[in-house]
Amino acid sequence: MNVVITGASQGIGLAIAAAFANAGYTLCLCSKTKANMDAAGNSLAAKYPNAIIHFTDADLSQKEQCVKFANWCLEKGTPSILVNNAGYFSPGNIQDEADDALEKQMAVNLYSAYHTTRALLPAMLKMGKGHVFNICSIASLNAYAQGGSYSISKFALLGFSKNLRLELKDKGIKVTAVCPGAVYTNSWVGSGVDPNRIMESEDIAKMIFAAAHLSPQAVVEDIVMRPQKGDL
């Protein structure tokens, strides 16, 4: 089976890719930065020789790049699983954040998932089965200090997930919104936060892998995960 993962060169996306590669899936991966995606893709291919790893660079803040990436994936086969993980975070308050903060974060956090999903859906609908995972956030559920446009964009992504779930539930395609709290990725390096205080990327990957392997008549609609000691 084919698995499409966006934002797959590091952090949560890379951990998800590793989980499916370990099980021998065919992966179609992308990230905005070519050097990072090449390094991650080659590393996965070397570590998991039983998997087929396709990877490319794509700036999914641009609609035409989403469509181009989706068509590139379809050349490798119809995906059974799509993980919309591409994301961008810029902290700030609505009243004084950069003028383009909303546009930039909506483009990556919402529109990339919307356009990529729409481009892949016809083939998935024709196949009659599939699973879409949208990587939302705890910021999709509650406002928080310095959340600003990031939280707005993640609320919107959760709304997209809910509507997509309603539309596709009778068509054999599952939709899961994944809402993790703090996860230790490169963005936390140098922050002073103890890595043992927050979750690991692999924690999220394990939950997604498990949710993807239920019976056809079962779906996990929402996955909410937080550090054991609560949000920071």
The span from the CA of 230 to the CA of 22, in Å, is: 30
Residues 6 or more apart whose Cβ sits within 8 Å of residue 34: 57
Structure tokens at 183: 């996860």
The three-state secondary structure class of 132 is strand
Query: Token pair for residue 56?
Result: 């490319």
β-partners of residue 84 are: 134
Catalytic residue ranges = 150
Q: What is the DSSP string of 180-194?
A: E--EE-GGGTTS---
